[in-house]
Structure 1
Amino acid sequence: MGSRDIKLFLIKAIILLAVPSAIYINVLNKIDYYCFYENGVYIACVNDKEEAKEAFNQVKGDINKRFGTTIEKSNNISFKKSSGNVVSEYTLNELKENIVKNLNLNITAFRFVIGKNNIGYIANKEEGKQILEKVADRYIDIGKIDKSDIVSVSIDTNSEYIEEKTSVSNVLPTDEVVNKIIETDKDSEEPLVKVEVKTKDKTMIDVEPATIINSSEDLFIGESKVDKGTNGKNEVEEESTYINGKKINTEKISEKIVVKPIDTVIHTGIKNPIPSGIAFLSKPSRGSISSNFGARWGEVHHGIDIASNVGDPIGAALDGTVKETSYNSVYGNMIVVDHGGGIETIYGHCSKVLVKPGQKIKRGDIIGKVGTTGRSTGPHLHFELRVNGTAINPNKYIK
């Protein structure tokens, strides 16, 4: 016997040994079960005959209760023993559903029609009403509406019930009808069922305090003191309207003061700091002083020059109101700011002016850009401090 013949012999031997083994395993795995019939009509295959009988009688009882009929428990139940490798395992509910599906029984039911849409068969008109109420409840859940806030629920639909004879297997479970309506109306501009829910809700809101400006002779110009207020509380009642779970409108019905807010009071100084020699001005531009106040080149220099680059920002030295913006052959583009109490500051040689007369400004606000307009030997800011129209040395009053 050649090597090729030996290989063929071994393969045949392995196959012959394997086949009986597979058959034996298959036989061992076979189980007995029962095919379940009622009046000769196949229902399902089950392992437990008693459980099948109980499920069948429960179905009959459920039908009697739902349709108001009197169907006697059947004595025409039969089982046919069989065996096989696999038998489907049913839960009790699945078995009952299978019984209904295969049950040869006609009953009087109602075809539920909404508009021109045939929704399906239901047991009676009262069940139709319950289905619409369940649709409303479903939309309340979809909209996450707090049920304790609901004041009214209205259901708008054009429905009718047509009495007909049909197989009991054609009658849908109520939850299935609800799901069908919800799914049909999903994203529909003209829903089959329009559920309007109105709610009333009371919430507490914070009320910010008002701000009062108080002029104080105890503080110097440029100084301020803040007495911080506290928030109040108001109770607001709102009515909201939902259509099919979507909020479409909210309207405030009432608002009631619960806790009054306490005003914030800002005390601003009006006392003149000049006689006391108080430093109250901020430096209006970065850079070093290139020319001081006083005599210069045979005339009086009425301010200080701060050397800067063209385009550098110019900040307001103090809170105030823009009195003037103009062009002068000496000062070039200039800004005059009134700070009250006869105190003014002037900003000259600007490349750009960023404010307008009458504008309220705060210390540090950018009011212009450094330049070299007018009579100027290079880019810088000419800064003046005037009291009742007379220029004084600003260096003494810059912080």
Structure 2
Amino acid sequence: MDELLHTGHEEAQESGLSLAPLRARLTGGADALRARLAPLRHKLDAATAGGRRVVNPLHLLAAAAVLGVAAVVGTVYTPSYVVSLDGVPLGTVTAPAEFEAVVNRVESRATGILGYDYDIAGEISYAPALTERDSITPIADFETYLFDQIGEVMKSYVLTVDGQFIGAAQDRATLDAVLEQIKAAYTTENTVSAEFTSGVYITHEYTASDVNQDPAAMLAALTANTNGQTVYEVQAGDTFMQIALDNGMTVSEMSELNPDVDINVIYIGQLLNVKEEIPFLSVKTVDNVTYTEEIACPVVEVEDDSMYQGESRVIDAGVPGEQIVNADIAYLNGVEQERTVLSTQVTREATNKVIAVGTKVRPSWLPNGYFIWPVYGNITSYFGYRSIFGSYSYHGGIDIATSYGTSIAAADGGTVVFAGRATGSMWSYGNLVIIDHGNGKQTYYGHCSSVLVSAGDKVYQGQPIARVGSTGRSTGNHCHFEVKINGTSVNPLSYLS
């Protein structure tokens, strides 16, 4: 331990903390030194009297030696205290208050780590001493010693994510291995960088001895999924229920994320909130990849007066080109976020794709490619399974209730393929109009009180084709509206604009 120059036995006793005896001894030593130097000073004065400077060299050397000893004692050593805990010397301080401040800091920090008030046990004592100035014990050494005596606290490597404690280990390599294992799930031979999106830190500090030190538990905590949400755009043919199922949700869960949405009335292009599972610790990676990419054929249009405006046909499909692409692709948890093309090299040029476009004025009855509402009113029955007349059955359309005799409009332009009283297996429709819109699309308008068109008629979008009634299997005035794609009924609410 520190090299100490102690005072006399009687002054080193722990009878008090006063430095008076030590100061007295130092003062007495200085007075004695001055007394011994007085005769020498007189001889020097006499030797220089009358202009003479004759000095005995031995006297001069003796005086220098005595003065040197006094200077060394004053500059090399300093008054101090030896600190002991339960009789065990710990080191030296220039004042007891310095060690008391160390004790307060250690107790406060240990209290914060352990979660309860902690007091350092043992008897602390101080003994006066003379210590070489360079040998005073560093304050940090006292703190380290005291922390090492606390059994409930250990010095270890601590892993935190955005300030949240994850775990600790005796060696940093253990924590580094856990983090590398998380990154490894998203890296490939093409990965050029991988980093965490959260603030991940490993520090060397004191922590409670009973904290999590299990690498497997740390890995599980860091990879556990948390519930977030993202946006889904409704596509043609979607239903609220199917979207929920496709995203691992129940209808109730999805309804909670979309409180202002009528689950029975969704439309193409509508944005719905859906659940998204996000790892506790996300990883962003960048891969540098080289791949072959098709070059689309340039499109060349030629006019054709034998086709209607808006119609087109391919005359020459052309041959797509090919190029080699080098790009950096950024991923978040394995999902591509951004692609930066660094270079391209064309290996085959694309040829033109020639398309004929119609110039003939289109008639009003040609389909526009989207459906409008045939009537407006309350939807009393939705698409799907339902209970009606005491039995559970499949409903292929929607029922829109409105006043008797209200005009029913064609949802889009097309050709009437049926108009009249339905019979046979279709009797339940009552008076029915069916319009073919081309490309496998048909619309049905059932339970009409009367029909205003005939089979073979060309009708335009919005044209009155029938009137609301309650014919066939019906319990009130309404329009049964049905959409079929290639003979299969689909939810009309997914197609109505």
After TM superposition, the score normalised by the length of structure 1 is 0.32
What's the TM-score once normalised by structure 2's chain length?
Answer: 0.26
